[in-house]
Structure 1
């Protein structure tokens, strides 16, 4: 697990959400309502089984903030538990996430945010630091073996784009 995932100040919130987009929105709403600082990690986690859903985790920097968040979330009727459900969360909120807009170099992405590395689909080597990355204002890295990794794919003109698109087309949308 990454350093952020082993903090004792983590909470998991289960509201029964079934879609990533709704979970992303919930994380942004919670960050605003709870006035969370920029060093918070907010991740989505897929829960499989009899009741598939998406839960969110908040990795907070202190015990007082954890206690306040827990009180406010439970007062709103949310199901809240201590810790994170798994070590492979998809980060929506993370240090520096707000600065990852427009087109940046890979070096800029790494220096401005908590992202540890960028990987490119189908390529064993990391991209060059000066490779442009068109963020589409939607950057969702995932925890992998203790590192926050942004998976990207090649785009026109030698640039990269994050693998996850901001507005995916639902399966069979044209039927």
Structure 2
């Protein structure tokens, strides 16, 4: 089961540490507007339902706190080999091709102990950062997003 915060499911991008920090920063900056999960590993094994359009989730900071609130704007369940270049680009991680995307994700999920095959179903999520009260924007999250802060207060246009 996924963690919950303020009654919402928590989305943790990547693994804790440098990867999560980088992916969260990309999401906060708007460069990353999509993410992928495996239906079997990230949903069925966790006892979770697939997100739905309009659902809000908490985007986790690497520290375990709240980096942002996101809104799901599109959901597609896709066989692993059929993930589109549109989706790969929306992930914002600089994939040069869908094959590049597949190789990277195959390595990532393999490191998690799951071997991806042609019949593996990928949950393709598109999201946007949703506005939220300024007290939730941490100085660290603002710095990663390239947002100015003053005395620990966020000066972004979202708050």
Normalised TM-score (structure 2) = 0.26
Normalised TM-score (structure 1) = 0.25
Between Structure 1 and Structure 2, the one with more helix by share is 2
Q: State which structure, 1 or 2, has the greater radius of gyration over its C-alpha atoms.
A: 1
Larger RCO: 1 or 2 (CA < 8 Å, sep 6+): 2
